[in-house]
C-alpha cells in the first residue's frame, strides 16, 4: 500500500522527513549564521588552488561534448546504413554521450579530463567503435593524441578534443534505438549484456546514484571539493597505490551528507572527519541497501564470497552490481588515512573555534621528514613511449610491494608517496627515461635486543619477479626495461629529489651521487645497501646463485655524516667489524643507556685531556730546546711532538672512523650468501638474486 501521512501530521502541517541512506540521520539541525560565514570563508580558501572552473571554460567543455555527441549520432547512422537497416529505423536509431566521474559530479578542477561513455543500440558492435568511429575521430581537426586501448580491463579511446582530454568508453545496449531521455540507473538495461559493457556502464550508474542519494547537491559538491583537495595535499589520493580514488571519496562525503542532511559545507567537512576518524573498520560504508536483480552478476558480499571478508576498508558502490571500490587498501594505507582523519578532525575543531583558518587544513605535510628509513623504487626504460607503458605497469603493482613489506615481521608500516619523481640517469651518453617512487618504512622497536637484522631480499625480489612476469606475458617487455630498489635514510633523500620538493643541504659529503652501473644503483652516502634488479633480457641465460654488488675495489666508503643513532650496514660489499663503527659526538644524545655515556666520556676525554697534554708536551720541548741551545734539535722535537699528539687526538675523536680505517686497511669484497633464498617457480625470466639485508643497531 502507498504511504500516507497520518491525520495528526497533516493537521500540524508536517510530514515525516525523507531518510537518506541505510540509517536515520545523526542530526537534523539547521545551519546557523556562523556556519554560513565559515562556509563562505571555506569557498574563498579553495579559490587559490584552482578547484573552481571559470564560466568560459565550462561553456567550452559543454560545446566540445555537444560536438562529440553529434559525431556519435552521425557515426551510428552510418553504421546502420552499412548494415542495411530500414530508413525509418535509421532516422530514430539515436546514440548518446554520457559523462561520469568528477565532471558529472560537478567537482572537476581546471584542466581536468572528462570521462565519457558512448551508448549505442544493439546492432552496433564494439569492433565498430574501435574501427569506424576511431577513423571518424581521426578526420576531425580538433582531435589530437588519439589512441585506442582495446585490450584494457575497461576498453577505452583516449583523445584530446580542442585541448580537452577525454576518455571514451563504449556500451552496447540490447535496445533497437537509444532514446534521449534514457536513464542508465535502470537495472533492466543490464540484461543480455557482456561483462565489458556492464563495466563501462558502471561508472555512469554509480555517479548518477550518488547524486540521487544526497539531500543537497550543492552542499555535497562544495564538501567534496574540499575533501578531494585535502586528500591530494596530504598524499592519500590514489586508488592504484592503495589509498582512495575519486569515487570512494565521493561516497564517504555522500554518507556524511546523509547523516547530517541539513548541514552546510563547513559543518559537513568537520563531521566528515568526526565520522570516519571513529569509524570501526572493516564495517562497510553503504549509501543504500544492496539489491539483488537476479542477473547472476558477482556482487560484494562477505557472507558468500570468502575473499570479500579480507577487505580492510570496504566502501560499497550503490549501483548494481555492488562492488568494493577500495579493494586495494592495505593495513598500512588504512593506518595512514585514519591518522590523517584524526589530524583533520583536530584542525577543523580549531577552525570552528576560530583558533585557525581553513588554509591550515590544506597545508601539505612533509612526507620526506616523517620517517627515518625509506625505500626508493626506480623504473626506467630506453624511450619515452616504452617508459610510459612500463611506469604504468610498475605503478599498478607497487601495492604488492607494500603488502610484502607489511608481512615482514620487523616492519610496522610501509607508506608509499603517491607522487612520483623523475629519476637520475645512468650516464649522460645513454638515453634513458626513469621515474622514482618513495616508500617510508617504520621498523618495529626491539627493546630486548640491541641489534636487529632485517632481510628484505625476498620481499622486493618477489615484487620485481611479478612485474617482469606480467610484462613478458602481456608482450609489453622490451630490452633495458629495469626496476631498481634501494634503502635510503632520511638525510640522504635531498640527493635524489628535485630541489622544489626537498632543498639540497648546505653541508653534505662532496662524494655526491655515484654513477649507476649495469648491476647496481648506489645512491647513498654511507654503506646503506641498494638492490638492483636488471632487465631479464640483459642477463645471460645461466645466472649464478650469488651476484656480487659492483661497488669498486674497496666498495663505497661512507662519509662522516653517515653515523647515526641507527646504523645500517649492507650485507654485501665490505665486511665491517662492530668495533669499527662510529657515532658522532654531537649525536650522543640520540643514544640510550651505557652507549650514550661511553660516547660522552670519549668526547670529554678528547677535549679536556688530550689537547692540554699535547700543548704541555710542546712547551716541555721548547724548554728542552733552550736548555741545550740547539735550534735544529728543538724544531725536530716540536714537529714530532705535535705530529704524534695530533694523531692521538684524531684517533680519539674519530675512533673508530670507518673512512680513516678503509683508507689505511683496504679489505676484500665479500659476496652475498643467498643459499637461504628459495628458488622461484620455473618461468622464462632469468632471475637475478640480489640481497638487501639491514642491520639495525639501537
Tell me the β-bridge partners of 316: 324
Taking phi first (over 0 means left), then psi (-120 to 50 degrees means alpha), and beta for anything else, what does residue 26 get? Answer: alpha
Find out whether the peptide bond into 321 is cis, omega within 30 degrees of 0. yes
Reduce the DSSP state of residue 504 to 3 states and report it. Answer: coil
160-175 residues labelled b (16+ CB within 10 A) or e (exposed)? ebbebebbbbbbbbee
C-alpha cell at 623: 724548554
Task: Find cell 549501483 and name the residue.
Answer: 319
Question: Cβ–Cβ contacts within 10 Å for residue 636, how many?
Answer: 13
C-alpha cell at 150: 582495446
Reduce the DSSP state of residue 25 to 3 states and report it. Answer: coil
CA–CA distance, 438 with 374 (Å, rounded to integer) = 7
Tell me the β-bridge partners of 378: 436, 484
CA–CA distance, 525 with 495 (Å, rounded to integer) = 9
CA–CA distance, 529 with 376 (Å, rounded to integer) = 11
C-alpha cell at 50: 584552482
Reduce the DSSP state of residue 153 to 3 states and report it. Answer: coil
Q: Is the dihedral of CA 584, 590, 593, 597 positive or negative?
A: positive
Instruction: Give phi and psi for 375, each to the nearest 5.
Output: -115, 125
CA–CA distance, 72 with 93 (Å, rounded to integer) = 11
Residue by residue, what is the 3-state secondary structure of 568-610? Answer: CCCCCECCCCHHHCCCCHHHHHHCCHHHHHHHHHHHHHHHHHH
C-alpha cell at 149: 586501448
Closest C-alpha to 68, from 104, 101, 116: 116
CA–CA distance, 422 with 411 (Å, rounded to integer) = 27
C-alpha cell at 277: 576518524
User: What are the residue numbers of the active site?
Assistant: 102, 113, 115, 167, 228, 237
Are the C-beta atoms of 465 and 397 separated by less than 8 Å? no
CA–CA distance, 283 with 374 (Å, rounded to integer) = 32
CA–CA distance, 355 with 335 (Å, rounded to integer) = 27
Q: Helix H segments across 443-557?
A: 457-473
Q: What angle do CA 284, 287, 293 make, to 5 degrees?
A: 95
CA–CA distance, 572 with 547 (Å, rounded to integer) = 9
Strand pairing category for 411-416 and 433-443: antiparallel
Closest C-alpha to 562, from 634, 621, 503, 495: 495
Q: Is the dihedral of CA 95, 101, 107, 111 positive or negative?
A: negative
Reduce the DSSP state of residue 97 to 3 states and report it. Answer: strand
Strand pairing category for 114-120 and 451-455: unpaired
Amino acid at each position: 500500500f502507498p504511504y500516507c501521512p497520518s491525520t495528526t501530521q497533516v493537521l500540524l502541517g508536517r510530514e515525516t522527513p525523507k531518510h537518506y541512506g541505510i540509517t536515520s540521520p545523526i542530526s537534523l539541525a539547521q545551519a546557523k549564521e556562523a556556519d554560513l560565514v565559515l562556509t563562505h570563508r571555506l569557498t574563498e580558501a579553495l579559490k587559490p588552488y584552482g578547484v573552481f572552473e571559470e564560466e568560459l571554460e565550462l561553456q567550452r567543455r559543454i560545446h566540445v561534448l555537444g560536438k562529440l555527441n553529434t559525431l556519435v549520432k552521425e557515426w551510428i547512422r552510418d553504421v546502420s546504413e552499412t548494415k542495411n537497416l530500414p530508413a525509418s529505423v535509421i532516422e530514430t536509431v539515436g546514440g548518446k554521450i554520457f559523462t561520469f566521474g568528477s565532471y558529472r559530479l560537478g567537482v572537476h578542477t581546471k584542466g581536468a579530463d572528462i570521462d565519457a561513455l558512448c551508448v549505442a543500440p544493439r546492432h552496433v558492435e564494439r569492433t565498430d567503435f574501435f574501427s569506424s568511429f576511431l577513423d571518424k575521430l581521426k578526420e576531425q581537426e580538433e582531435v589530437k593524441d588519439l589512441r585506442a586501448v582495446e585490450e584494457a580491463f575497461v576498453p577505452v579511446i583516449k583523445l584530446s578534443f580542442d585541448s580537452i582530454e577525454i576518455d571514451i568508453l563504449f556500451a552496447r545496449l540490447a535496445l533497437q534505438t537509444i532514446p534521449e531521455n534514457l536513464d542508465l540507473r535502470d537495472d533492466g538495461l543490464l540484461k543480455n549484456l557482456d561483462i565489458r559493457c556492464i563495466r563501462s556502464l558502471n561508472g555512469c550508474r554509480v555517479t548518477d546514484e550518488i547524486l540521487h542519494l544526497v539531500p543537497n547537491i550543492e552542499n555535497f559538491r562544495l564538501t567534496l571539493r574540499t575533501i578531494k583537495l585535502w586528500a591530494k595535499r596530504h598524499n592519500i589520493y590514489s586508488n592504484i597505490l592503495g589509498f582512495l580514488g575519486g569515487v570512494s571519496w565521493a561516497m564517504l562525503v555522500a554518507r556524511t551528507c546523509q547523516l547530517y542532511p541539513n548541514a552546510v559545507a563547513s559543518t559537513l567537512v568537520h563531521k566528515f572527519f568526526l565520522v570516519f576518524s571513529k569509524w570501526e573498520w572493516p564495517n562497510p560504508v553503504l549509501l543504500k541497501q544492496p539489491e539483488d536483480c537476479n542477473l547472476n552478476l558477482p556482487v560484494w558480499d562477505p557472507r558468500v564470497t570468502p575473499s570479500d571478508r579480507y577487505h580492510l576498508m570496504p566502501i560499497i558502490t550503490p549501483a548494481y552490481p555492488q562492488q568494493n571500490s577500495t579493494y586495494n587498501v592495505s593495513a598500512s594505507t588504512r593506518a595512514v588515512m585514519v591518522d590523517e582523519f584524526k589530524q583533520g578532525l583536530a584542525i577543523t575543531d580549531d577552525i570552528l573555534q576560530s583558533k585557525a583558518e581553513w588554509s591550515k587544513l590544506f597545508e601539505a605535510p612533509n612526507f620526506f621528514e616523517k620517517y627515518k628509513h625509506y625505500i626508493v623504487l626506480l623504473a626506467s626504460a630506453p624511450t619515452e613511449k616504452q617508459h610510459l607503458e612500463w611506469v604504468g605497469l610498475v605503478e599498478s603493482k607497487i601495492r604488492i610491494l607494500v603488502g610484502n613489506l607489511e608481512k615482514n615481521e620487523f616492519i610496522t608500516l610501509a607508506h608509499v608517496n603517491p607522487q612520483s619523481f623523475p629519476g637520475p640517469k645512468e650516464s649522460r651518453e645513454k638515453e634513458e627515461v626513469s621515474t622514482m617512487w618513495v616508500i617510508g618504512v617504520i621498523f618495529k622497536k626491539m627493546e630486548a635486543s640491541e641489534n636487529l637484522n632485517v632481510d628484505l631480499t625476498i620481499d622486493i625480489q618477489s615484487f620485481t619477479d611479478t612485474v617482469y612476469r606480467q610484462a613478458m606475458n602481456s608482450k609489453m617487455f622490451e630490452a633495458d626495461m629495469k626496476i631498481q630498489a634501494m634503502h635510503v635514510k632520511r638525510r640522504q633523500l635531498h640527493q635524489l629529489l628535485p630541489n622544489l620538493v626537498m632543498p639540497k643541504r648546505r653541508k653534505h659529503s662532496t662524494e655526491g651521487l655515484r654513477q649507476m652501473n649495469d648491476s647496481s644503483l648506489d645512491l647513498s652516502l654511507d654503506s646503506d645497501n641498494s638492490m638492483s634488479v636488471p632487465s631479464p633480457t640483459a642477463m645471460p641465460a645461466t645466472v649464478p646463485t650469488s651476484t656480487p654488488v659492483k661497488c669498486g675495489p674497496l666498495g663505497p666508503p661512507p662519509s662522516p655524516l653517515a653515523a647515526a643513532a641507527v646504523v645500517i650496514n649492507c650485507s654485501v660489499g665490505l665486511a665491517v667489524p662492530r668495533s669499527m663503527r662510529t657515532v658522532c659526538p654531537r649525536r650522543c644524545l640520540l643514544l640510550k643507556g651505557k652507549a650514550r655515556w661511553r660516547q660522552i666520556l670519549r668526547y670529554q676525554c678528547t677535549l679536556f685531556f688530550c689537547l692540554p697534554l699535547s700543548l704541555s708536551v710542546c712547551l716541555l720541548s721548547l724548554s728542552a730546546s733552550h736548555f741545550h741551545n740547539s735550534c735544529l734539535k728543538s724544531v725536530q722535537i716540536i714537529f714530532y711532538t705535535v705530529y704524534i699528539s695530533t694523531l692521538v687526538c684524531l684517533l680519539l675523536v674519530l675512533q673508530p672512523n670507518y673512512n680513516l680505517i678503509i683508507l689505511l686497511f683496504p679489505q676484500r669484497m665479500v659476496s652475498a650468501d643467498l643459499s637461504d633464498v628459495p628458488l622461484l617457480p620455473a618461468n622464462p625470466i632469468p632471475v637475478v638474486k640480489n640481497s638487501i639485508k639491514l642491520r639495525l643497531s639501537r
